[in-house]
Amino acid sequence: MEPNIPISPGSGIKKNRMYNLILIGATLFALLIFFNTFGTEDINISETEIEIYPSEAPVDYCFDSARNELPSTGEGYANWFFYGSCGGWKIYDVTPEVELELRAHGDECQTCPSCTLGDINYHIYDYFDGQWNEMEFIDGPDNYCGNYIVNYNPVGNRIKIVADSGFYMRIYQVN
């Protein structure tokens, strides 16, 4: 027969709460270490970069391959040209003389034979002196699978990307 050990009321509950708090703390610590180690590396966004969303486009909405409607400007925008009725240009409000990273992306990969947004060719216009000024023509790769990055320092407070073909693009201000 086992000895009769007195149990104080609520001692098991306190012990379980303590174990739960330790478990939650250890989990949060592990997540903190994980995100500090791997957090933003895979998506190539550093803590000193700010994504610039387009402020104007030729249409209000675009459609993805599943025919979902996405805005062509602002947060959550469709980041492509010449697909899903999205049109061929977008305007971005920027800070003059602060470096931008224009990250184009092509999806014409062997793993996606039906993907068609891989010809990275576009013009960069900069708004200053009361008019749009063509600054560069980017003749990037065609039938491309991957990222194609161009750095640009705007003169004015707006830039306009005019695409000659279909591809994806996101623009980041590099601080």
pLDDT at 84: 86
User: Mean pLDDT of all residues in the chain?
Assistant: 83
| SS3 track for 136-168 | EEEECCCCCEEEEEEEECCCCCEEEEEECCCCE
What is the predicted pLDDT for the residue at 37? 34
Residue-level pLDDT at 100: 97
Other beta carbons within 10 angstroms of residue 102's beta carbon come to: 22
Which pLDDT tens digit goes with each residue over 70-124? Answer: 999 999 999 999 998 899 999 999 999 999 999 999 999 989 888 899 999 999 9
More confident residue, 12 or 145: 145
CA distance 90 to 38: 32
**Predicted confidence (pLDDT) at residue 159 exceeds the cutoff of 70:** yes
**pTM of this structure:** 0.72
Q: Could you tell me what percentage of the chain is helix, strand and coil, using 3-state DSSP and rounding each to the nearest 5? A: 15, 35, 45
Domains and CATH numbers, the chain: 49-174 (2.60.120)
Write the CB contacts of 173 (distance below 8 Å, at least 6 apart in sequence): 49, 50, 51, 52, 94, 95, 98, 99, 100
Q: Which residue type occupies 30?
A: A
For 7, 136, 165, the CA distances from 71, given in Å and listed in that order, are: 63, 27, 20
Strand 100-107 versus strand 145-152 pairing type: antiparallel
Cα–Cα distance, 51 to 155 (Å, whole number): 18
